């Protein structure tokens, strides 16, 4: 038997760079774009648009998973999923959510918190229609988060759907679409030596501007 990993001794020093107030954009959306562009440029085979999405039920019971960012602009962050999934059920009960981007190759994280709402049907269809055909069929056959007897159930559903749409684009299902997270809070985190990380918090103000504070690590 292999010896157990001593988790307490797993450690990495962060030495790449620092983050200073003078270098920040006054607009967190612009700051996000700058960091995201850098993450894409340096990601290699990794997925820079992978983000952790945290949701909670009406009673406050949390759940978390990784989803993919599919668009970002001054309105907010957009991702797509099954509207009958666990995350969707929780968002229907409690439309508050949080996102975290972790780019270890840059020793950076971004946290975004805000209110989530469904995007319009046209936007969902526009994205759905540009997905690879396998991804579209997979979205239709999967009753996301529901219990299934075996993987063969999925494979049988997929085969039947492929036969139904051999040369025709499948329609956007009613139970699938996008969400927009409208940010109220951004935090930009840059790893530093001795765990004295740089953290800057953007908080939306009543006058539609943003307050910027440095946080203790």
Q: What is the pLDDT of residues 166-180, one digit of tens each?
A: 888 999 999 999 999
Mean pLDDT calculated for residue range 134-146? 93
Mean pLDDT calculated for residue range 131-152? 93
Q: What does the DSSP assignment read for 122-168? A: HHHHHHHHHS-HHHHHHHHH--TTS--S-HHHHHHHHHHHHHHSSSS
Of 42-51, 116-125, 206-215, which range is least confident? 206-215
Q: Which of 58, 121, 195, 214 is catalytic?
A: 195
Of 1-15, 104-118, 138-152, which range is least confident? 1-15
Residue 3 has pLDDT above 80, yes or no: no
| 208: alpha, beta or left? (left if phi > 0; alpha if psi -120 to 50) | left
Residue 113 has pLDDT above 90, yes or no: yes
Decide which of 45 and 206 is more confident. 45
Residue 1 has pLDDT above 80, yes or no: no
Mean pLDDT calculated for residue range 97-123? 98
Whole-number Å distance between alpha carbons of 131 and 166: 16
The share of the chain scoring above pLDDT 90, in percent, equals 91
Q: What is the pLDDT of residue 136?
A: 95
Mean pLDDT, the chain, whole residue set: 95
Active-site residue, 192 included: no
Q: Is 96 exposed, middle or buried, given 0-12, 13-18 or 19+ CB atoms closer than 10 A?
A: middle
The structure tokens 């990794």 sit at 46
Query: So what CATH class is 12-131+174-215?
Result: mainly beta
Q: Where are the domains of the chain?
A: 12-131+174-215
The answer to whether the CB of 70 falls within 8 A of the CB of 78 is yes
- 9 is written with which tokens? 């001794």
Q: What is the pLDDT of residue 16?
A: 94
Q: What is the pLDDT of residue 80?
A: 98
72 band by pLDDT with thresholds 50, 70 and 90: very high
Of 57-71, 74-88, 140-154, which range is least confident? 140-154
Q: What is the pLDDT of residue 206?
A: 87
Residue 2 has pLDDT above 80, yes or no: no
């Amino acid at each position: 038997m292999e010896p157990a990993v001593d988790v307490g001794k797993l450690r990495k020093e962060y030495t790449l760079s620092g983050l200073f107030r003078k270098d920040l954009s006054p607009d967190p959306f612009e700051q996000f774009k700058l960091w995201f562009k850098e993450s894409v440029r340096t990601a290699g085979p990794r997925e820079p648009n992978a983000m952790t999405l945290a949701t909670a039920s009406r009673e406050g019971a949390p759940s978390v998973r990784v989803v993919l960012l599919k668009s970002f602009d001054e309105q907010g962050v957009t991702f797509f999923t099954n509207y009958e999934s666990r995350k969707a059920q929780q968002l229907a009960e409690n439309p508050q959510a949080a996102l975290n981007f972790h780019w270890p190759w840059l020793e950076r994280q971004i946290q975004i918190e805000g209110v989530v709402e469904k995007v319009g049907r046209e936007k969902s269809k526009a994205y759905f229609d540009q997905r690879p055909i396998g991804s579209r069929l997979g979205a239709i056959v999967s009753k996301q988060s529901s219990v299934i007897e075996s993987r063969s159930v999925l494979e049988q559903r997929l085969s039947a759907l492929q036969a139904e749409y051999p040369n025709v684009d499948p329609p956007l299902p009613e139970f699938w679409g996008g969400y927009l997270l409208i940010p109220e809070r951004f935090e930009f985190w840059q790893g530093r030596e001795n765990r004295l990380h740089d953290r800057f918090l953007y908080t939306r103000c009543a006058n539609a501007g943003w307050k910027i504070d440095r946080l203790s690590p």
